[in-house]
Amino acid sequence: WGLFCSHPADYTPVCTSKLATAAELIPEFEKRNVKVIDLSCDTVEEHHGWIKDVAAFSKIDISIPIIDDADRAIANRLGMIREHDDFDNRFHPRGLPMAARGVCSTNVQAR
């Protein structure tokens, strides 16, 4: 099985605690043969810096790979972009819309 997660942006409080919690649960996912991967609309460089911060804050090894989707190609294809709504009109510092938070489980054997 696979667990595909996404978060709007690195270095945000909720996303930081979510990544730390997911990393803490990796042994439980491994017992169940579940691979975890995350996607964010930030760059690889930003991911590396953020992972170091999260690990230092949480005292947990962060081994979850994070996909660089700075151009929003994957998020757009999966329908994850929040263009605008009255409740949450936040944009990434680069002025691009942010991807929505999400979690999707996949069964790799049910192709």
DSSP calls for 17-62: HHHHHHHHTHHHHHHTT-EEEEEESS-HHHHHHHHHHHHHHHT---
Confidence of residue 16 (pLDDT cuts 50, 70, 90): very high
Question: What are the tokens at 55?
Answer: 């690990």
For the stretch 67-89, pLDDT in tens is: 998 888 888 888 777 665 444 44
Instruction: Please name which of 78, 80, 86 lies closest in space to residue 98, comparing C-alpha atoms.
Output: 80
Residue 13 lies in a domain: yes
What is the predicted pLDDT for the residue at 91?
52
What is the predicted pLDDT for the residue at 70?
86
CATH number at residue 101: 3.40.30.10
15 is an active site residue: yes
Confidence of residue 95 (pLDDT cuts 50, 70, 90): low
Question: Number of structural domains, the chain?
Answer: 1
Of residues 5, 15, 41, 104, which has the active-site annotation? 15
For the stretch 21-61, pLDDT in tens is: 999 999 999 999 999 999 988 899 999 999 999 999 999 99
Residue 63 lies in a domain: yes
Please tell me which residue, 6 or 21, carries the higher pLDDT value: 21
What is the predicted pLDDT for the residue at 9?
84
What is the predicted pLDDT for the residue at 87?
42
Residue 111 lies in a domain: no
What residues make up the domain containing 84? 2-106
